[in-house]
């Protein structure tokens, strides 16, 4: 995941460099460079959002597992208390 995001960032930086190197009088080249910058920006944002979504899903799974374990522990303590006081 991290590698693909780094690669997309490098591609975006390369597009920005090419865009800044285009002479002002060359409208066609400038427009192509701007389109490349826009596409690379969209790709980078999409990849970043995918990674954020994957991290969020992992965190939710971990939270559920932790809460499930806490619930089991509380139930065990409750059962022990009931047995102790009978």
The predicted-structure confidence for 16-70, as pLDDT tens digits, reads as follows 888 888 887 888 888 888 888 898 888 888 888 888 888 888 888 887 787 777 7
pLDDT at residue number 54: 87
Domain count along the chain? 1
At a CB cut-off of 8 Å and minimum separation 6, what does 5 contact?
A: 44, 47, 48, 51
At a CB cut-off of 8 Å and minimum separation 6, what does 48 contact?
A: 5
pLDDT value at 77 more than 80: no
The answer to whether 65 and 48 are in contact (CB under 8 A) is no
At a CB cut-off of 8 Å and minimum separation 6, what does 23 contact?
A: 29
pTM: 0.62
**The domain containing residue 15 runs over which residues?**
2-85
């Amino acid at each position: 995941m991290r590698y693909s995001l780094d690669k997309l960032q490098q591609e975006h930086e390369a597009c920005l460099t090419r865009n800044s190197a285009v002479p002002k009088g060359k409208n066609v080249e400038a427009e192509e460079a701007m389109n490349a910058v826009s596409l690379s920006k969209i790709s980078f944002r999409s990849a970043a959002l995918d990674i954020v979504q994957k991290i969020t899903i992992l965190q939710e799974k971990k939270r559920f597992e932790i809460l499930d374990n806490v619930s089991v522990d509380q139930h065990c303590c409750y059962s022990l208390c009931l047995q102790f006081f009978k």
